[in-house]
Amino acid sequence: MNLDIAKLLADWPYEPGQINVRLIEGEEGVPLIQVRLDLGLLQMHVEGRPDGQQPLGYGSFLEYQEARQDGSELRPDADEDAQFRLSEDDCRLLREEAVQYYHRYIALLVLEDFEGVLRDTSRNLRLLDLCAAHAETEQDRTMLEQFRPYILMMRTRALASLALKSNENKLAGFEIEQGLEQIRRHFEHIGRPELFEESGEAQMLKGMREALVPKLPVSQAAELRQRLKEALDRENYELAAILRDELRMMGEVGD
Q: In degrees rounded to 5, what are phi and psi of residue 180?
A: -60, -40
If one compares 24 and 170, the residue with the highest pLDDT of the two is 24
Any idea where the domains of the chain sit in the sequence?
Answer: 14-73+84-249
d(CA 158, CA 170) in angstroms, rounded, equals 15
d(CA 204, CA 255) in angstroms, rounded, equals 22
Residue 180 has pLDDT above 90, yes or no: yes
Least confident of 147-161, 221-235, 239-253: 239-253
If one compares 97 and 243, the residue with the highest pLDDT of the two is 97
If one compares 106 and 211, the residue with the highest pLDDT of the two is 106
Res 213: pLDDT: 47
With beta carbons less than 8 A apart as the criterion, state whether 227 and 252 touch.
Answer: no
Res 169: pLDDT: 84
d(CA 95, CA 220) in angstroms, rounded, equals 31
In tens, the pLDDT along 50-63 reads 999 999 999 999 99
Residue 77 has pLDDT above 70, yes or no: no
Res 216: pLDDT: 40
Closest CA to 117 of 66, 163, 159: 159
Kindly state the average pLDDT of the residues 203-208.
Answer: 91
Q: List C-alpha distances in Å: 182 to 6, 179, 197.
A: 46, 5, 13
Residue 19 has pLDDT above 60, yes or no: yes
% of the chain exceeding 90 in pLDDT: 62
Mean pLDDT taken over the chain: 87
pLDDT level of residue 218 (50, 70, 90 thresholds):
very low
If one compares 206 and 213, the residue with the highest pLDDT of the two is 206
d(CA 148, CA 195) in angstroms, rounded, equals 14
Res 215: pLDDT: 42
Res 41: pLDDT: 92
If one compares 213 and 199, the residue with the highest pLDDT of the two is 199
Q: Does pTM top 0.85 for this prediction? A: no
In tens, the pLDDT along 78-133 reads 555 568 999 999 999 999 999 999 999 999 999 999 999 999 999 999 999 999 99
Res 217: pLDDT: 40
